[in-house]
């Protein structure tokens, strides 16, 4: 199963490497959102520092949703969904492979956005471990939720508008938990940051378990 | 000869529209079957039902010995399907795509080059993005992706579409070779005069059922 998972992930990453959508278009757009939010808050540096964690995760939510949509556009283009369903690769491997590829892409997006808030919002990190664990947990949760809901909407003609509509409410708990954990990691909130990071891991684990068991069914009926 | 496809009184529905309406058909191993009929006759639906992409509502359907009403995913690893679309990742290079399909089908990566050569995809195109190929070249890459998996059952919907004369003849040779090696081929085509020669049996469909069968006893 590991070989099949890596095969699917490698294919998705190769498609992205050739198309340069993630780093060439989505990351600059998400970065632009950080800039626009900075303008909207009138460069009030104390407010930006306080809200940096939340604004970061809003930008991740936006950019991540575009990446998830792109991940399934590739599979539905040119009738590829038929080949995806006909594939000899097991459904759990398809699920994990696509999730892994999205994890890498969203992770790269977060690196760009992390640099963005450091420069634009002048933040200082109080707890690096919490910051890294929360970012990793949030990225896993985003990826598995995205693949699960992407598969559900893949067969629909209105998926371009329906997927964000379905996905955003599911991603909001991750956004909230990520924001709280980041606020603690950035030292603007003396809260239980590790609890929020753990919540994201739980969300990721639950969606991974669902995806592992139900991805094949979703591909057939989606 | 053992039955590869065995449909009895099969009814299949797409949405609320019946696409197969009591289809009776048996196809044996090694046969090359040409499906013909007007648009909406049920040719594509029959091919998709054989691939398990359309569920069977009633009747008995077995493909490669698997009961399609119990598990329609089970025979897919032995089936190669080429539909109207080419099922290609446009951003990948030609060789990358076929290599991915080869590995996914459990074939050796080294089979990739042999399949591309067999289908007649020029070597200078192997490192070109699929999206920049012509329609005929993309069709050939799709066929190479099928050849590399060595399926036991080939389901082809208008496989000659977009191909030039030389490539059509080459595809006919590939299908004949596959059949001699024991594969079963079912293909739909509107170009009967050109494709009839390679078929060992011609079936005319209409209204989601068989109207005429040259192989019927």
The backbone region for B9, taken as left when phi is positive above 0, alpha when psi lies in -120 to 50, beta otherwise, is left
Q: What are phi and psi of B35, to 5 degrees?
A: -100, 130
Give residue limits of the domains in chain B: 3-213
- Partners of B79 in beta bridges: B153
> pLDDT-based confidence at B195, cuts 50/70/90?
low
Integer Rg of chain A from CA:
17
pLDDT at B214: 80
The whole-angstrom separation of Cα B133 and Cα B127 is: 11
B49-to-A184, B6, B11, B75, B154 alpha-carbon distances in Å: 55, 11, 10, 12, 13
User: Does the beta carbon of B73 lie under 8 angstroms from any beta carbon of chain A?
Assistant: yes
Beta bridge partners of A64: none
Q: How many CA atoms lie within 13 A of A68 on its CB side?
A: 35
Q: Which domain holds residue A126?
A: 2-221
What is the CATH topology of the domain spanning B3-213? Rossmann fold (3.40.50)
What total number of domains does chain A contain? Answer: 1
Which token pair is B172?
């006919």
- CB within 8 Å: B89 and A88: no
pLDDT of residue B216: 61
Among the partner-chain residues A11, A74, A86, the one whose CB lies closest to the CB of B76 is A86
The model's pTM: 0.89
- Which ipTM score applies to this complex? 0.85
Q: Pick B81's closest partner by Cβ from A16, A78, A86.
A: A86
Query: Checking DSSP bridges between strand B201-206 and strand B32-36, what pairing results, if any?
Result: parallel
How much of chain B exceeds pLDDT 90, in percent? Answer: 64
pLDDT in tens, chain A (222 residues): 888 999 999 999 999 999 888 888 899 999 999 888 888 876 667 788 888 889 999 999 999 999 998 998 888 888 888 888 888 888 899 999 999 999 999 999 999 999 998 888 888 888 999 999 999 999 999 999 999 988 888 766 667 778 888 888 989 999 999 999 999 998 887 778 899 999 999 999 999 999 988 888 888 875
> Do residue A77 and residue B106 have CB atoms under 8 angstroms apart?
no
Interval B134-172: pLDDT, tens: 999 999 999 999 999 899 999 999 998 888 889 998 999
Cβ within 8 Å, pair A86-B100: no
């Amino acid at each position: 199963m590991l070989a099949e998972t890596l095969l699917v992930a490698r294919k998705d990453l190769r498609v992205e490497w050739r198309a340069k959508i993630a780093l060439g278009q989505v990351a600059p757009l998400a970065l632009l959102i950080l800039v626009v939010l900075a303008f909207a808050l009138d460069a009030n540096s104390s407010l930006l520092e306080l809200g940096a964690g939340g604004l970061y995760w809003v930008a991740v939510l936006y950019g991540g949703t575009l990446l998830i949509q792109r991940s399934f556009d590739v599979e539905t283009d040119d009738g590829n969904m038929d080949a995806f369903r006909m594939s000899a690769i097991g459904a759990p491997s398809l699920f994990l492979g696509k999730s892994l590829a999205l994890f890498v892409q969203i992770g790269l997006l977060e690196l760009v956005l992390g640099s963005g808030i450091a420069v634009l919002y002048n933040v200082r990190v109080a707890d690096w471990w919490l910051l890294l664990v929360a970012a990793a947990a949030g990225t896993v949760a985003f990826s598995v939720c995205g693949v699960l809901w992407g598969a559900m909407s893949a067969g629909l003609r209105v998926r371009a508008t329906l997927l964000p509509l379905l996905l955003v409410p599911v991603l909001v708990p991750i956004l909230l938990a990520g924001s709280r954990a980041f606020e603690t990691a950035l030292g603007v909130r003396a809260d239980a940051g590790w609890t929020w990071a753990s919540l994201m891991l739980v969300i990721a684990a639950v969606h991974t378990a669902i995806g592992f068991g139900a991805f094949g069914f979703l591909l057939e009926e989606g | 000869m053992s039955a590869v496809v065995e449909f009895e009184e099969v009814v299949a529905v797409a949405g609320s529209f019946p696409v197969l309406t009591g289809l009776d058909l048996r196809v044996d191993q090694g046969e090359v079957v040409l499906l013909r009929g007007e648009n909406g006759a049920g040719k594509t639906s029959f091919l998709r039902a054989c691939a398990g992409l359309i569920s069977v509502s009633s009747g008995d359907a077995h493909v490669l010995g698997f009961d399609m009403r119990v598990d329609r995913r089970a025979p897919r690893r032995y089936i190669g399907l080429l539909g109207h679309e080419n099922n290609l990742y446009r951003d990948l290079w030609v060789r990358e795509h076929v290599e991915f399909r080869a590995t996914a089908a459990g074939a050796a990566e080294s089979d990739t080059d042999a399949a591309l050569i067999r289908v007649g995809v020029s070597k200078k195109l192997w490192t070109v993005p699929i999206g920049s190929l012509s329609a005929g070249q993309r069709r050939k890459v799709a066929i190479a992706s099928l050849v590399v998996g060595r399926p036991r059952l080939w389901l082809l919907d208008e496989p000659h579409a977009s191909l030039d004369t030389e490539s059509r003849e080459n595809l006919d040779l590939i299908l004949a070779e596959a059949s001699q090696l024991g594969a079963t081929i079912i293909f739909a085509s509107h170009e009967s005069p050109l494709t009839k020669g390679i078929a060992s049996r011609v079936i005319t469909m209409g209204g989601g059922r068989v109207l005429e069968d040259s192989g019927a006893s």
